[in-house]
Structure 1
Amino acid sequence: MAARTPHPLVSVVIPCYNHGHHLQEALDSVFRQTYPHIEIIVVDDGSTDDTKQVAQKNHGVIYYYQANHGPSAARNKGIRYSKGEFLVFLDADDYLYEEAIATNLAYLQQQEQLAFVSGCHDKVYDKAGKIVPEVRKVHQNHYTHLLKGNYIGMHATVMYRRRVLEDFMFDYTLRGCEEYDLYLRIARKHPVLHHTAKVAAYRLHHANTSNNVPLMLHTAMEVLKRQENQLQTTEEMKAYTEGRKAWQYYYTEQLLAKLQKQKSLSMYEYYNLLRYDPSLSLRNTFSSTSTVTIMNQMIKYIPSSRIRNKLKFILAGTATPRPGKVALGDFNRYTPFSTQFGYDRGGPVDRYYIENFLEQEADSVKGRVLEIGDNSYTVRYGGDKVTQSDILHVNNSNPKATLIGDISNAPQIPDNTFDCLILTQTLHLIYDFKGALHTCYRILKPGGTMLLTVPYITPIDYGEWEDVWYWSFTDKALKRLMQETFPKSTAEVTPHGNAFTAAAFLYGMGLQEVPLDKLVFNDPHYQVTITVKAIKS
């Protein structure tokens, strides 16, 4: 067992999206820490304000930029580029108290088995100018308590042990409650600890994600639902049931309070109030009806005709329209909006799946890396982890190519050469695709990783690749191919997409035109893109 470092490095990762006006206060709170061995990493999640300028004017702050992928992707990036033995995630609009790092670090150093430690916090109401302490006492059975609700409440009160985060990352598909999801997954597997010292301040203002009650309610219920198949004891099952009721009550009470103050609710707030209000299930009138039927019956009580009509439209989307009643709208045409895969409308829809996959697997892009066509993804996701970047191109039209040839028959490339291979949207253009996969297996080092993406539902290119667009692949086909071409190796094959994104991609909609909630929903019957991570045995 390695000797414990007496003064280990602690990494404070600050994801920031358009909170440049708060960022300096968050940074100053880290600078004031009584514990000195700290690195600060700001991950700019596509901000359009002065976030970059604020971060870079502070000496010693490490700054990274990424396109807007949400706080979870920003935190994951921070994990990858941080060096600390312990990590803290501080939102840019919050701040730490001076003893925060020292307090949490002491617990983790005293108890080596702990995966993370959490403390308490103050809620700071900017507009009202008041501070409310949030102190919860939890001494044991932390997983069970988390099933009942998120007793931690504020992410910056948590310090993680790095080795745990090597196995658990933030789920970037969640639009809220990402921290709660991580707490549950870790506490299910590892011991954790909670103390009552206040270590941070949570600033409440109009831009907080937590103000989006429908979003928070939906994601809290989704996160809890993910634990259902992990429950092992009667106590855990009881806590799970209590937790679902508690989340419903907590958020619907907020909506009811807003309504009682005669403040208007949005259509989505009405939708969620009607869907989750526990009192509805107690009404004999509705005891044998579906949720949608209940909501349709309740619509007549909504005072705003505009909201009523929009809510009816939303509810109509939860059921299949009657024959002859489908509203075709902008899709009522023979030609697509774009014949360039949506590049002229903000980028292709399938790039979301491809780049999120590579973002999640960026740790594998290291050592000597071969990419087909160009090395843009190698540079973007490998960074300084890459010792040599090679480009294979089928001809000499790319002057940066280091290797020329057809990957389906490339005897000039030695065996066991590369630590990582990146083949995005290429395999369908190769007639002998099995030969290409055999080559990939041969030239990978043992333990090396192939990151592959292929299309299934897709337009066909109008230009350079039209004459060599041979194939489309399902996840079932890729699983068989991996068994044949990467024998005894580990392969993860994942389909991505749904009916909406498949139609959007076929019509040439741009990525920025597709709402995030439509992108993250996955239906394997409509596979836009298949991703494969294969590790050579």
Structure 2
Amino acid sequence: MQHALVSVVIPAYNRPHTLKIAMDSILEQTYPNIEIVICDDSSNNEVQQMLEAAYLPFYPQVKYYKNEKNLFLENWHKCFDLASGEYINYLMDDDVFHKEKISKMLRFFHEFENITLVTSYRQTINESGGFLAPIAATVKLYEETRVMDGKMLGNIALTRCLNVIGEPTTVLFKKADLTEPFGVYRGKQYSLINDMAAWLLLLSKGKAVYIPEALSYFRLHANQNNNTLGFKAFSEWLDITIASREDGFLETKELFETALLAYRKRVQGYPQFAADIQRIDSILNTS
């Protein structure tokens, strides 16, 4: 049996310790045909030194690139462009794969037609790898595996104003299906919710699979973007909510209003979002 090549791509940044854990979780995968593409955006050489000592001389499937300058979002695009696989799975350098993640997810692309995104429950972990209770976005959506219309899964996220689909680590997709750079949706590059932008692009084209098993582990810690950037992470949700309707999401007035009100509730009382609230009220008053 021929096994399609899967590219696990890692936009690395200054986390050699957790990157080593992430790397080992790829090398322990039961699926046999995986390449690892690491684009290193670090401000020092610690990641490079760790990889040269522990991986690069021993694992030819690991491809490593050190950026001459900090690329930030462009680093995500670089990872994607350098990947040779038919399938792509991003892996954040502080997250971890379950050893059967790739094999269990890839099966759905072979057994069903028009699958454009496979995701799963993701287990939250702390800095030392201990299990944590779910946060709002990671609560299990279903108790059984579901194959559903992509727009249905997108609507669940949009109407809750929560990325219930998963972080970049969570999702497996076909490289050919992501027809814009990662995080670009309807012509706009999203930075703080670049994963949601990519997921909506994929979900607009086909079916999604949700697996209730914890096939990845999402590490929560003080230095990750959602914490260091704070409430700014919500600043892009309104734009993507409105733009999504052009792809057939939030197709009814009721769904659209639910999504707008969910966003409004999240930012109510914060002066920096006053303009967004006025914008929502204007849309609701004229719809």
Q: Is the pair's TM-score, using the shorter chain for normalization, greater than 0.5?
A: yes
SS in 2 for 1:69: coil
Q: Kindly report which structure 2 residues correspond to 1:11-160, keeping only aligned pairs within 5 A, or say none.
A: 11-57=7-53, 58=55, 59-60=59-60, 61-66=62-67, 67-70=69-72, 72-126=73-127, 130-133=131-134, 134=138, 135-137=140-142, 139-140=147-148, 141-148=152-159, 149-160=162-173
Amino acid at match of 1:43: C
SS in 2 for 1:176: coil
Q: Kindly report which structure 2 residues correspond to 1:501-516, keeping only aligned pairs within 5 A, or say none.
A: none
CA offset at residue 116 of structure 1? 1.7
Cα gap change, 1:63/1:146 in structure 2, threshold over 3 Å: closer, same or farther? same
Q: 1: distance between equivalents of 2:208 and 2:248? A: 18
The answer to whether the 8 A contact 2:119-2:166 is kept is: no
The answer to whether the 8 A contact 2:250-2:256 is kept is: no
Cα gap change, 1:222/1:53 in structure 2, threshold over 3 Å: closer, same or farther? farther
Paired residues in the alignment total 258
CA offset at residue 189 of structure 1? 2.5
CA offset at residue 11 of structure 1? 0.6
The answer to whether the 8 A contact 1:168-1:186 is kept is: no
Q: 2: distance between equivalents of 1:232 and 1:22? A: 37
Q: 2: distance between equivalents of 1:56 and 1:136? A: 40
TM-score by length of 2: 0.79
1:242 pairs with 2:242? no
Q: 2: distance between equivalents of 1:245 and 1:127? A: 37
SS in 2 for 1:131: coil
The answer to whether the 8 A contact 1:73-1:170 is kept is: no
Cα gap change, 1:225/1:205 in structure 2, threshold over 3 Å: closer, same or farther? same
Q: 1: distance between equivalents of 2:12 and 2:238? A: 26
Answer with 198-207 or 104-113: which moved more: 104-113
The answer to whether the 8 A contact 1:146-1:184 is kept is: no
CA offset at residue 177 of structure 1? 0.4
- What are the ranges of 5 or more consecutive residues in structure 1 without an aligned counterpart? 257-269, 282-286, 289-537
SS in 2 for 1:93: coil
Query: What's the CA shift string for 1:134-168, capped at 9, x where partnerless?
Result: 31136532233243242213221210112212x23
SS in 1 for 2:64: strand
1:209 to 208, 215, 225: 225
CA offset at residue 93 of structure 1? 0.7
Q: How many percent identity over aligned positions?
A: 24
SS in 2 for 1:227: helix
- What are the ranges of 5 or more consecutive residues in structure 2 without an aligned counterpart? 283-287
Amino acid at match of 1:75: W
Q: 1: distance between equivalents of 2:128 and 2:6? A: 33
The answer to whether the 8 A contact 2:100-2:215 is kept is: yes
Q: 2: distance between equivalents of 1:139 and 1:112? A: 10
Q: 2: distance between equivalents of 1:175 and 1:234? A: 25
1:225 pairs with 2:236? no
Q: Match of 2:274?
A: 275
Query: What's the CA shift string for 1:267-304, capped at 9, x where partnerless?
Result: xxx543x63897x99xxxxx99xxxxxxxxxxxxxxxx
Amino acid at match of 2:242: K
Q: 1: distance between equivalents of 2:83 and 2:214? A: 25
The answer to whether the 8 A contact 2:155-2:249 is kept is: no
Amino acid at match of 1:76: H
SS in 1 for 2:172: strand
TM-score by length of 1: 0.44
CA offset at residue 199 of structure 1? 0.6
Amino acid at match of 1:171: G
Cα gap change, 1:31/1:248 in structure 2, threshold over 3 Å: closer, same or farther? farther
Higher relative contact order (CA 8 A, sep 6+): 2
Kindly name which structure, 1 or 2, has the bigger radius of gyration based on alpha carbons. 1
Q: 2: distance between equivalents of 1:80 and 1:105? A: 21
